[in-house]
């Protein structure tokens, strides 16, 4: 197996919490360990100096020890979940499903938060020099190269964030469903297509980026989240949470949605119903009315209606279905 790109990345330093657990052909599987869960990175060497990596994380947070000396240009696509990043000014921003980010991994080390406790996506990496040479040799007709894209999208090592883009999302959606017997050839075709699409993208027309939020605000919102999830028997109002956090109601609503992806009331309702679903299965002796009361619903009918809104079935039918599995 040609390990040039893997050796280069190893020297850059993934960190002490990342370990190789499998390797076969041009594929390598890495595992990231953390007390809050685990993450897997399945990396394929597509060309010399170019890799494609599937990221699957089920954890609340982790520490990235990855060090880079301005040698890699990365394109990240979020398929599902949510991930928090911090820019060079200490402000935080969030990638969600459909988002794309281009950056040079210069400021990649540090704590990474996953507000929904999971993240799934793809990273395509281009090693400076080696990637350009490889593309010139393998794809001589291609007039665009990663160095050109780096200058276009990441001047002064800044990251570029792009909201949902139909053409780019089509390419990535196909990369999530690759024919097994054509994997590497398919990767090569799709990466070429991606480079061409990015070369024609108007950065000015797509400059509407996700908002950045001060760390002081997101920290308060995370404390509010901990309060909400620690007391599922209570339904907090925005006004109550505003008083507790010291944030104006409008700011609280805005930042909460940015961090967790849904309005605060919707999040509370969904969290309660998913907790109820776990209780319906974990303790089958507990009746539905008792579960409703433990989650702050004095009216079992209102609880059943809320459960159906979130889970798609009544509490009784949900429990019966799980018993039949």
What is the residue-wise DSSP string for 21-80?
EEEETTEEEEEEEETTEEEEEEEEEEETTEEEEEEEEESSEEEE-----S-EEEEEEEEE
- The alpha carbon dihedral of 165, 87, 113, 75 has a sign of positive
pLDDT one digit per residue (tens) for the chain, 325 residues: 344 566 655 555 566 778 899 999 899 999 998 888 999 999 999 999 999 999 999 999 887 766 554 578 999 999 999 999 877 677 888 999 999 999 887 765 567 899 999 999 999 999 988 899 999 999 998 888 899 999 999 888 888 888 878 899 999 999 999 988 899 999 999 999 999 999 999 887 775 556 889 999 999 999 999 999 999 999 899 999 999 999 999 999 999 999 999 999 999 999 999 999 999 999 888 899 999 999 999 998 999 999 999 999 999 999 988 765 5
Delimit the domains of the chain by residue range. 4-200, 215-324
Task: Give the CA diameter of the chain.
Answer: 70
Which tokens sit at 92? 């935080």
What pLDDT is attached to residue 210?
Answer: 65
Residue located via tokens 């505003």: 242
Distance CA 125, CA 76 (A): 9
Distance CA 258, CA 246 (A): 18
Q: From the CA atom positions of the chain, what is the Rg in Å?
A: 23
Contacts of 241-246 with C-beta under 8 Å, sequence gap 24+, read 245/220, 245/221, 246/220
Which tokens sit at 47? 């060309």
The 8-class DSSP code of residue 160 comes to: E
Pairing of strands 37-47, 50-58: antiparallel
Distance CA 242, CA 236 (A): 10
What pLDDT is attached to residue 79?
Answer: 96
Question: What residues pair up with 77 in beta bridges, in sequence order?
Answer: 100, 122
What pLDDT is attached to residue 1?
Answer: 37
Q: Which CATH class is domain 215-324?
A: mainly alpha
Report the SS3 class of residue 18.
strand
Pairing of strands 61-64, 18-24: unpaired
Distance CA 92, CA 106 (A): 16
Q: How far is CA 153 from CA 85, 100, 141, 158, 296, in A?
A: 18, 12, 22, 8, 49
Which superfamily does 4-200 belong to?
Jelly Rolls (2.60.120.10)
Distance CA 121, CA 40 (A): 11
Contact 68, 105 (CB under 8 A): yes
Written in H, E and C, the secondary structure of 48-64 is CCEEEEEEEEECCEEEE
What pLDDT is attached to residue 2?
Answer: 45
């Amino acid at each position: 197996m040609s390990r040039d790109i893997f050796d280069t990345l190893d020297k850059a330093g993934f960190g002490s919490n990342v370990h190789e657990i499998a390797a076969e052909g041009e594929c390598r599987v890495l595992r990231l360990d953390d007390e809050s869960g685990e993450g897997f990175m399945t990396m394929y060497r597509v060309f010399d100096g170019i890799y494609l990596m599937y990221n699957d994380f089920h954890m609340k947070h982790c520490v990235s020890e990855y060090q880079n000396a301005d040698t890699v240009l990365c394109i990240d696509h979020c398929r599902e979940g949510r991930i928090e990043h911090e820019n060079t000014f200490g402000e935080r921003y969030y990638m969600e499903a459909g988002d794309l980010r281009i950056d040079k991994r210069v400021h990649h080390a540090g704590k990474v938060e996953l507000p929904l406790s999971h993240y799934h996506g793809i990273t395509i990496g281009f090693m400076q020099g080696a990637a350009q040479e490889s593309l010139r040799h393998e794809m001589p007709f291609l007039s665009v190269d990663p160095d050109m894209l780096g200058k276009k999208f990441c001047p002064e090592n800044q990251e570029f964030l792009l909201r949902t883009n139909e053409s780019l999302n089509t390419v990535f959606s196909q990369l999530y469903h690759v024919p097994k017997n054509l994997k590497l050839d398919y990767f090569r075709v799709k990466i070429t297509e991606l480079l061409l699409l990015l070369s024609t993208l108007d950065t000015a027309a797509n400059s509407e980026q996700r908002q950045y939020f001060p760390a002081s605000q997101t920290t308060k919102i995370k404390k509010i989240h901990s309060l909400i999830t620690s007391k599922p028997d209570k339904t907090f109002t925005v006004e109550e949470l505003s008083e507790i956090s010291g944030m104006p109601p409008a700011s609280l609503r805005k930042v909460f949605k940015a961090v967790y992806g849904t309005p605060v009331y919707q999040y509370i309702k969904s969290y309660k119903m998913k907790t109820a679903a776990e209780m319906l299965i974990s303790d089958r002796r507990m009746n539905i009315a008792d579960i409703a009361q433990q989650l702050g619903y004095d009216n079992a009918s209102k609880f059943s209606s809320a459960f159906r809104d979130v889970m798609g079935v009544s509490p009784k039918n949900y429990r019966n279905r799980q018993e039949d599995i």
